[in-house]
Structure 1
Amino acid sequence: MRHRVSRPRKRALAVGLALVVAVLAPSGAAGAADPYEWAALGDSYTAGVFVGAPRPALGDASRDGCDRTSDAYPALVERELDEFPPGGYVRLTDVSCGNATIADVASARQTPISPVRPPTDGWPAVDPQIERAGLDDRTDVVTIGVAGNSLPFGGMLLTCLTQGATGKSCREHYTDPPEGEESIQDKLARVQDEYVHMLAEVHRAAPDAKVITVGYPAVLPEEGSACNRLSLSELGSISHADIDWLRDDVLRPLNDTIRQVSDFFGDRYVDVYSSSVGHDACRPADTKWVEGICGDAEEYWPGNLPGTLLDCRLIGKRITLVHPNAAGHANAAAHVERAVRLALLER
């Protein structure tokens, strides 16, 4: 498959950790009848959306509109743990869902928005992910990748596209916002409060679990000028100055917020940003780990964004809206796998 990441050293580490856990785990602690329980919670950066085959498969009656896929990082880690068990079988319950917010993980019912073969009357609402995952005192590990939709980062990107196309500043729009719009400072402060509440609820529901939070990758280049403003397969009409602002004043602070709150709770934070620098949406197809506004995706994924004029079919692409591709999920999987193995070693 295209976009594969070579990771022999990471594989060696994973195998080593598996052997250590196998040696140190008490006899019968996690045998076939008593598997480790891992719950994966999160948004589209966890679910996968257009990377690999849909899970559940197309046509399956249990599809819920959340767009989980076979090559998203939870599924990749699951396969690695099956091949090299950390002292016993690890059972994954993946309830991540595209477009999920922090509240959708903790307490709110979410109405999924999958564009892939939706029911005639739309997708029914699903319970909060904490409930769907069945977190309880038997849960061993919880991984969480969420927060972007609570800004919302995707909505901000679309606003920046519009602002850039008309010669306006996205930065000014969010630092001195119009009436009814939060400033970026207020957005980040609100996200911090919501994240605190969410982690408190996760720990309440799964008091004995090791909790692992996952940050966001470097979807934006280190220099906005690296992007071709004529290319929708990159960041389209977003100005170079606004790209730099989105990186330094939005994405990095968002990751910092997740890390700081995680540290407060004593949880492990997985940094996927540092390792993905240089693999942003403005890189060539064989280098990028995240697709641009338009990009490459599986055939079942649509090429246009309903309700907008954005139609990626005009350039032979599909609507990817700056999401990780297979290589991006492989990179995240390597880091999350290590964190899960370490968490089980500490139990």
Structure 2
Amino acid sequence: MRATVAAIHRDTPAERPRRRGVLLAAALLAALAVALGAAVAAPAAPASAAVSAAKPDKPTKPGGGGGGSSELAFAAVGDSFAAGVGAGSYLDTSCYRSSKSYPKLIDADANRKLVSFPACSGASTVETLAQVATISTTAKLVTVTVGGNDVGFSDVMRDCFVLVSNSCQSRIDAGAAIATSQDFRDDVAAVIAAIRNRTEPDAKIVVTGYPLLFHENSSGVNPKYTWADEVNDETAVLNGVIQSVAESNGAVFVDVMDDFAGHGIGSTTPWINDWSWLNTVAGFHPNATGYVAYANAIRAVPVP
């Protein structure tokens, strides 16, 4: 009988506001987890999804290669910055690949053909290794943006800027320790080596860094976010490590910090989306203009 009573229980008027508050908090946290990648990165895209990113109006060569002889076949792997999160116009809601991402912008060039696009929101170096296994072996150019999720991007954004908590500093410190560790260097190197083993010997690997997310005024602070300057500093350190690993393993590093200078969150012309509960997917990622800057920086790299 007690079980039956419990099964048909209805909230009393006094309980309803509290229950609504609990449900709302749970919903907000769930949305935050999805938006920032949560503790578990999104799965790598299957090979079929990667190949489907090729231009539909240009036939693919037998075996999954590129288009005409004048087009350079390329692939794009990595995390949310490689997928184009923040730009809108998403091609899917599993990885949030955008038609305004830097891979798709470069794909629109007359002499480039995107033959594999498995980049996925939430991907760490581990998931990116799985992505590499799906790319076309004929790619002559492979772009990579990875490392942010390895050092706890979502945890830092959540605890320092969204639901600010006492854990902020420890999150930053933990990420800094990972970024400067030999394990992290080895993980980034492993991605580059996997790409080298997957593609033709003369393929060029372009590894991009991350922009500084926050604009700092003349006093070196961001008026809205207390931890902005420290996160910017750690981002610069992360970029330095990625650059060192990329160049020591035969890849080209593209530093976008200067390209985004003056366009961080809090600037008059931001190229980074601020956090908003109305658009949780986009927060702390480049907008469409930011991805144009990424594409232009990559276009400047000489290719085979």
Letter in 2 for 1:210: K
What secondary structure sits across from 1:269 in the alignment? strand
Check whether the contact 2:79–2:123 (CA below 8 A) recurs between aligned residues. Answer: yes
Check whether the contact 1:37–1:92 (CA below 8 A) recurs between aligned residues. Answer: yes
Check whether the contact 1:40–1:96 (CA below 8 A) recurs between aligned residues. Answer: yes
| 1:247 pairs with one of 232, 249, 253 | 232
Letter in 2 for 1:94: F
CA distance in 2, matches of 1:105, 1:139: 16
* Alignment partner of 1:202 is 2:225: no
* Alignment partner of 1:130 is 2:122: no
What secondary structure sits across from 1:244 in the alignment? helix
Report how far residue 49 of structure 1 moved. 2.6
| 1:188 pairs with one of 174, 177, 180 | 180
CA distance in 1, matches of 2:175, 2:99: 37
Letter in 2 for 1:104: E
What secondary structure sits across from 1:100 in the alignment? coil
What secondary structure sits across from 1:142 in the alignment? strand
CA distance in 2, matches of 1:228, 1:289: 18
CA distance in 2, matches of 1:185, 1:278: 28
Check whether the contact 1:272–1:332 (CA below 8 A) recurs between aligned residues. Answer: yes
* Alignment partner of 1:48 is 2:43: no
Q: Specify whether residues 160 and 318 from structure 1 end up closer, same or farther in structure 2 by C-alpha distance, changes over 3 A only.
A: closer
Unaligned runs of 5+ residues in structure 1 are: 1-29, 56-62, 107-127, 176-181, 230-237, 295-311
| 1:212 pairs with one of 206, 209, 216 | 206
What secondary structure sits across from 2:263 in the alignment? coil
What secondary structure sits across from 1:39 in the alignment? strand
Check whether the contact 1:35–1:91 (CA below 8 A) recurs between aligned residues. Answer: no
CA distance in 1, matches of 2:216, 2:95: 31
* Alignment partner of 1:343 is 2:303: yes
Unaligned runs of 5+ residues in structure 2 are: 1-65
Report how far residue 188 of structure 1 moved. 3.3
1:200-253 deviation line (CA, Å, top 9, x unaligned): 121122242111101111212245865343xxxxxxxx42xx2221111x2001
Q: Specify whether residues 270 and 36 from structure 1 end up closer, same or farther in structure 2 by C-alpha distance, changes over 3 A only.
A: same
CA distance in 1, matches of 2:204, 2:106: 16
| 1:289 pairs with one of 249, 271, 274 | 271
1:62-81 deviation line (CA, Å, top 9, x unaligned): x57111111111111111x2
Report how far residue 260 of structure 1 moved. 0.4
CA distance in 2, matches of 1:329, 1:31: 24
CA distance in 2, matches of 1:260, 1:280: 24
**Structure index of larger Rg:** 2
What secondary structure sits across from 2:144 in the alignment? strand
1:86-131 deviation line (CA, Å, top 9, x unaligned): xxx634321111111111111xxxxxxxxxxxxxxxxxxxxx1112
* TM norm structure 2: 0.70
- For 2:29, the equivalent position in structure 1 comes to none
CA distance in 2, matches of 1:49, 1:173: 23
| 1:69 pairs with one of 79, 85, 98 | 98
Report how far residue 185 of structure 1 moved. 1.8
* Alignment partner of 1:268 is 2:257: no
What secondary structure sits across from 1:149 in the alignment? coil
What secondary structure sits across from 1:324 in the alignment? coil
Letter in 2 for 1:331: A
Report how far residue 146 of structure 1 moved. 1.1
Letter in 2 for 1:196: A
- For 2:74, the equivalent position in structure 1 comes to 38
**Residue-pair matches, total:** 236
Runs of 4+ in 1 over 6 A off after TM superposition: none
| 2:222 pairs with one of 224, 227, 235 | 227
* Alignment partner of 1:94 is 2:94: no
Q: Which runs of structure 2 are paired with 1:143-154 in the superposition (5 Å)?
A: 143-154=143-154
- For 2:169, the equivalent position in structure 1 comes to 171
Q: Specify whether residues 31 and 65 from structure 1 end up closer, same or farther in structure 2 by C-alpha distance, changes over 3 A only.
A: closer
- For 1:257, the equivalent position in structure 2 comes to 241
CA distance in 2, matches of 1:173, 1:47: 25
What secondary structure sits across from 2:180 in the alignment? helix
Report how far residue 145 of structure 1 moved. 0.9
* TM norm structure 1: 0.62
Of the two structures, which has the highest relative contact order with CA contacts closer than 8 Å and spacing of 6 or more?
1
CA distance in 2, matches of 1:33, 1:194: 34
CA distance in 2, matches of 1:147, 1:331: 20
What secondary structure sits across from 1:211 in the alignment? strand
Report how far residue 36 of structure 1 moved. 2.8
Check whether the contact 2:221–2:228 (CA below 8 A) recurs between aligned residues. Answer: no
Percent of paired sites with the same residue: 24
Q: Specify whether residues 188 and 153 from structure 1 end up closer, same or farther in structure 2 by C-alpha distance, changes over 3 A only.
A: farther
- For 2:25, the equivalent position in structure 1 comes to none
Check whether the contact 1:35–1:90 (CA below 8 A) recurs between aligned residues. Answer: yes
CA distance in 2, matches of 1:225, 1:272: 20
CA distance in 2, matches of 1:331, 1:105: 23
Q: Specify whether residues 320 and 183 from structure 1 end up closer, same or farther in structure 2 by C-alpha distance, changes over 3 A only.
A: closer
